[in-house]
Amino acid sequence: MAGIRSSTFAGARLGYETAMRRVHSLLTLAAIGAVTFTGCSSVDEPGASAVAQRFLTLARTDATAACELLAPQTAQRLQDDGGSCPKGLQSAKPPAPGEATRVTVAMNSAQVRMGDQAVFLARFDSGWRVTAAGCTRESSDDAVPYRCAVEGS
């Protein structure tokens, strides 16, 4: 009887260990999936999208206010090109905003797609700032860079 108990417990123990390995594997996959999906869908998406929309709207109506939404290097580039950021922005003539169709956030940078244009943003201590806007691809090849109406150096 002792032999039966010991083999019964040994079998039960092996079954328990196998079940625990499966549970551990499933939990690991779930954790990896959660991290992956968190990278794709973030609470930062609406913030980045709102700044992109606001920037493109203000660029047409209030260039001074729009310049406040730019990353420092981008504002400096417009100032260098036009004498002041608002004048440089008026000369750049970024396109009108469209509805955001896709927002991609990766750590401290974001891309907001609006129709055939893209707006690129970076996260600063003060929030999202536009680094480039009115960006279009001239080729379907990802190796070909975007051409942007507004961009930093």
* The predicted structure's pLDDT at residue 22: 43
* The predicted structure's pLDDT at residue 128: 97
**What is the residue-level pLDDT of the chain in tens, covering all 153 positions?**
555 554 444 454 445 444 444 433 333 333 333 333 334 445 568 899 999 999 999 999 999 999 999 999 999 999 999 899 999 999 999 999 989 999 999 999 999 999 889 999 999 999 999 999 999 998 888 888 899 999 987
Residue positions counted in the chain: 153
CA-to-CA dists, residue 23 to 9, 36, 134, 138, angstroms: 21, 20, 49, 49
* The predicted structure's pLDDT at residue 4: 52
The burial of 89, by beta-carbon neighbours within 10 Å (0-12 exposed, 13-18 middle, 19 or more buried), is given as buried
* The predicted structure's pLDDT at residue 37: 36
Q: Could you give the strand order of the β-sheet that contains 102-106, starting from the edge strand earlier in sequence?
A: 102-106, 109-114, 117-124, 127-136, 147-151
Assess contact for 52 and 45: CB atoms under 8 A.
no
Distance from C-alpha of 52 to C-alpha of 35, rounded to nearest angstrom: 26
Assess contact for 120 and 137: CB atoms under 8 A.
no
* The predicted structure's pLDDT at residue 138: 85
- At 30, phi and psi to the nearest 5? -65, -40
State the amino acid at position 108 in one-letter form: N
Q: Which helix (H) or strand (E) holds 28?
A: helix 2-40
| CB-CB neighbours of 81 under 10 Å | 15
